[in-house]
Structure 1
Amino acid sequence: MSNIKDYKDVWVFAEQRGGVITPVVLELLGEGKKLAEEAGSKLCAVLMGENVKEMSDTLIAHGADKVYTADSPLLKNYTTDGYTSMMTEMIEAYKPEIVLYGATHIGRAFAPRVAARVNTGLTADCTKLEIDPEDKKLKQTRPAFGGNLMATIICPDSRPQMSTVRPGVMEKAEMDSTRKGEVISVDVKLAESDIRTKILEIVKSKKELVSLTDAEVIVSGGKGLGDPSGFELLKDLADSMGGVVGASRAAVDAGWIDHSNQVGQTGTTVKPKIYVACGISGAIQHVAGMHEADTIIAINKNPSAPIFELSDYGIVGDLYEVVPMMIDAFSAIE
């Protein structure tokens, strides 16, 4: 068994889909750089897929000192077996001290399996990471008990220290195209027989899926809309403000709008410049996903709605009267 002192460096799993680095990776690189500097180690990215080496330049430009690439046709599309086996081999070979994953569908699927194979812990859905100045342990903070308190978790006896991090809560790393880094090609020993699942076809949704994580303006609706047609009005407001439409879990559960629009603890954590909450009461699960917005505007008939305690601007009134006036006002701005 390896000694804890044998482990060094901060790793970021550089998730890519179809040759495009996912936005959360840039957030992880930004946070990982801070952690690496505090821990006195290097920031490294792990890139898996087919013909992925060209993406290494993007990762280096955003702060990575090293990029480990695992290139194989067997890694072109995500499979739990393939990614888990590859990441496990790399951790055992190079011994990182910290490994960060985005809390995406892929990160949530295989990070726990990697943790089990390398016999370490995993803290899920982290919203804050910091290095303990006394002993350099990673302090991992995440919401607990429905977001009513924040729990800080440490992994003192096992390495690597691993976390999945919610998209939209960390600052993205700035790009510096002059940066230089090292690219390390990892030998891929996977065989087709190692992967128990076979991808027959990838079908992309024809629905208009939104990118809540990157949006600067989000207009969200809740059960206070009364019926799903209210989201058409909110889309008009979002368009006039240059934003996208979000929703509360209650609206999603009612079948009024797709889950990709959901903001909250069980949806997407967002950090826009402006967040407009229409007909949303302000349940803690929703607030946990949007409370870091720069400016929050709430529209609700109920003057006692909890959302008003959080908002910067509160409008007590019928959203079907207020929103059209807002659309007219924003549309008049050239």
Structure 2
Amino acid sequence: MSEKKEYQDVWVFVEVKDHERIHPCALEILGKAREIANDLNQNLVAVVLALEAEQYLPVIKKHGVDKIIYLSHQNLKHYHERIFTDLVHELIEKYKPSIFLFPSTEAGNALSARLAYRCRTGLVSDVLDLDLEEDYADDLLLTDKPAYGGNIHVKIICPKTRPQMCTITPGTFKKKELEKEHVEFIEEKYHFDEDKIRIKIIGAPTRKDKPSAPLSEAKFVIGGGQGIGSEANFKKLYKLAKLTNGQVGGTRRPIFNDWMPEHLQIGISGETINPNLYIALGISGAIQHVVGITESDTIIAVNTDPNAPIFRTTDYCIVADANEIINGLLEYYKVEE
């Protein structure tokens, strides 16, 4: 491995989701990465691999980057582990970034893990905060993440190897638009031995139960927990969300009960949300769920237990049966409609 002093700049992997839009988590990370790059007096570099990658450059440019490295090819339309790993690893070897940040998504987690192995460096997953460890080294990244089922937070550094790598949970940071006066665009040529491709992606079907927008982008979220009581009651949340232009999410228990699909889970094992309003209905408030809602502007919780842990996190507490509140809201909005 090269000397650590040879490694410079803060990189962010900009994932293109469903080969049609930039994953919002990547734009969120760019805002925080800009702060880190400023503190280090280094460049912020976005890395994007996609079909017709050029179309995404104007959006990325508005988020404080100094440089954008991009590759464009038809084989980059969908994420392919072997192709993306080989190409991005070549970029790391060529440019030697000090810090490399990834969205904590299916593609981001897979790619970062493979790259960490290739680079023989460390990787911290599902990070909830970033800072610099100034007492140890000038460019040492300090990561903060939950551990032991979310019961504690741990701070982790990677002092001996580079690049320092981590994945960041969607919704952790706010998007910040800042367009630099000069942005350098670096186009790298696609080159990959097609004989190495053992699995070819011929299509990516759209999931029927997929929401119109991810929970991490929703402005109003209605969350349901075990206290909802039954699948029939839980279905009322979808009706309420439709009437209020909101989205439904929830805890792990409704998934176990087959009331809700897994991709709607909020918390450590699911999405981190930051809506204008989050209403928690029948949710006790385990830390595994709470860490996913703390960035919400306003939180209202409804629970029959006045000592429910969720009330320690919320702005407004309602001690009541969640189903009574749901039925009342449905009646109100139907009248208004």
TM-score by length of 1: 0.94
What is the alpha-carbon distance in structure 2 between the residues aligned to residue 25 and residue 167 of structure 1? 8
Report if aligned partners of 1:270, 1:293 keep a CA contact under 8 Å in 2. Answer: yes
Shift of 1:327: 4.1
Shift of 1:328: 4.8
- Structure 2: runs of 5 or more not aligned: none
**More displaced stretch, 323-332 vs 120-129:** 323-332
**Equivalent in the alignment of 1:42:** 43
Matched, 1:317 2:317: no
RMSD: 1.8
Q: For 1:130, what is the secondary structure of its paired residue?
A: strand
**More displaced stretch, 227-236 vs 37-46:** 227-236
**Equivalent in the alignment of 1:26:** 27
Shift of 1:187: 2.5
Q: For 2:222, what is the secondary structure of its paired residue?
A: strand
Question: Which amino acid in the other structure matches residue 90 of structure 2?
Answer: E
Matched, 1:244 2:260: no
Shift of 1:251: 0.3
Pairwise mapping of residues 61-72 of structure 1 onto structure 2 (< 5 A)? 61-72=62-73
Matched, 1:270 2:273: yes
CA-to-aligned-CA distance 1:249-285 (integer Å, 9 cap, x gap): 1101211111121111111111222111111111121
What is the alpha-carbon distance in structure 1 between the residues aligned to residue 303 and residue 63 of structure 2? 41
Q: For 1:187, what is the secondary structure of its paired residue?
A: coil
**More displaced stretch, 237-246 vs 280-289:** 237-246
Shift of 1:240: 4.1
Which of 252, 256, 261 aligns to 1:253? It is 256
What is the alpha-carbon distance in structure 2 between the residues aligned to residue 60 and residue 133 of structure 1? 29
**Equivalent in the alignment of 2:220:** 217
**Equivalent in the alignment of 2:302:** 299
**Equivalent in the alignment of 1:201:** 203
What is the alpha-carbon distance in structure 2 between the residues aligned to residue 227 and residue 307 of structure 1? 20
Pairwise mapping of residues 138-157 of structure 1 onto structure 2 (< 5 A)? 138-157=141-160
Shift of 1:297: 1.0
State the identity %. 38
**More displaced stretch, 215-224 vs 178-187:** 178-187
Report if aligned partners of 1:74, 1:192 keep a CA contact under 8 Å in 2. Answer: no
Q: How many corresponding residue pairs?
A: 333
Pairwise mapping of residues 185-200 of structure 1 onto structure 2 (< 5 A)? 185-200=187-202
Question: Which amino acid in the other structure matches residue 128 of structure 2?
Answer: T
**Equivalent in the alignment of 1:180:** 182
Q: For 1:2, what is the secondary structure of its paired residue?
A: coil
Shift of 1:180: 3.4
Shift of 1:228: 1.5
Q: For 1:246, what is the secondary structure of its paired residue?
A: strand
CA shift in 2, pair 1:196/1:173, >3 Å: farther
Shift of 1:8: 0.6
**More displaced stretch, 152-161 vs 67-76:** 67-76
CA-to-aligned-CA distance 1:16-75 (integer Å, 9 cap, x gap): 031311101110110110010011101100010221122112111211111111222222
Shift of 1:195: 2.3
Report if aligned partners of 1:61, 1:179 keep a CA contact under 8 Å in 2. Answer: no
**More displaced stretch, 300-309 vs 252-261:** 300-309
**Equivalent in the alignment of 1:279:** 282
- Structure 1: runs of 5 or more not aligned: none
Shift of 1:122: 0.6
What is the alpha-carbon distance in structure 1 between the residues aligned to residue 321 and residue 155 of structure 2? 41
What is the alpha-carbon distance in structure 1 between the residues aligned to residue 209 and residue 148 of structure 2? 33
Q: For 1:213, what is the secondary structure of its paired residue?
A: helix
